[in-house]
Structure formats: structure tokens, C-alpha cells
Amino acid sequence: MIILCTNVKAQVDEINPTSDFIYRGNHFLPGSPWLIVGTGYGKNFSENTIEPNFMVDFHYQFEKKNQCIGFGYLTSRDQFLTEGNSGLFVPNIYLRHSTNSLHGMYGIRFERNIRHSFAGFLGPSYNWGYRHAFTDTAGYDYHIKYNEVGFYASLQYSYKIFYDLGVGVSVWASYCESYQVVGFAIHLYLSSAFKRKIN
């Protein structure tokens, strides 16, 4: 019996299930929608600076196919927290430069086995924020607001600690005329693949 259980576990680890399966007493459905939430740093080419970012993307995979669609939100800015206090978020209007992106995505996902998920996405975006305009002779910075259409792209790798929960790395790019930034984020992977506990 022990040998049989070991063989079953090894087979599940090595294959990429295409239909629902039971693993360690849990019922899972491959290809279920998933969410990633992450934070990291990026290169702002518009201002030639390194800045922090936060992103959240939701994805839906078509049944029995690798194709996916999704939507999400990204913000990249010169700072998130105010200095010298309890760490409240800086309102967008007070930032020297920032971008916010609402984006739709189309892409492809590959799951090598039950542990590794790879995905790539590209799509249009709506971007808004503030960009630095000029610094006057007294040293004061001036920034102007923008609202523009652009595009968003991302590559994701997730290691699934459990089949429906994991961690990973995202590399992404956000582009519009006023703001161009490329970054990476360490993300949390959350999937709806879990269906029920098998007694």
C-alpha cells in the first residue's frame, strides 16, 4: 500500500493534469482562474529613475486550451509611503511622477507539472497619473496630469507550493506616451483550482 501511494504521488508530480484529479485527499480542477498580487521595483525610462510598484492581475484560462484572458491594475510611482510618519500612502496628486494602469490581457499559459506555471500576456491599457514637467529656478518641482491609452505586457513564473497556492516572479512593461516603465514583482499566486476535501 505504501509503494502504491508513493507511485501515485510521483506520477501526479511529474504530469500536467488535463482534467480534475485528487491529490493528497484534495479534489482539484486544472485550468481554473487565478490571481497574482505582487510588489517590486522597476525602471522608469521617462524619468530615468528606479521606483517601487504594486500589481494585481486576474486570469481566466479557456477550457482544455492554453489560451487565457485577463484584466488587472498596476501602479508604479516615485514613492508609496510618506516619510517620517506611520506609513500612510501618499495621495497620487502629491507624487512627483506616477503611472496607474488598468489593462486587459490575452496570453498563453503552460503548466509543466503540478508545481510550475509559466504564462505570458499582452494587451491594451488605460493609463493615468502625473509626470514631472520642470523644476523652477528656486528648486520647486512641477508636475502635470495625463490620461492616455497604451499597452501592458507581462511574463509570469509561479511555483505552486500547493496546487492552488504559490509564489512567483512577474516581469512586466507598461507603456504610454507620457510614461514608460519596465519592472519586476515578487507575487503571490492564488487559484480557484481547489474544489473539495475528499474524506
Residue 176 near residue 125, CB atoms below 8 Å: yes
What DSSP designation does 89 have? Answer: B
Mean pLDDT by groups of 10 residues along the chain of 199 residues: 45 60 72 92 88 94 88 86 52 68 96 89 94 73 87 96 92 94 96 78
Give the per-residue pLDDT at 3.
44
Alpha-carbon radius of gyration of the chain: 21
Cell of 82: 510618506
Cell of 145: 496630469
Class of the CATH-defined domain 32-193: mainly beta
Domain boundaries along the sequence of the chain: 32-193
CA distance 19 to 65: 12
Cell of 70: 485577463
Give the per-residue pLDDT at 158.
96
Give the per-residue pLDDT at 21.
67
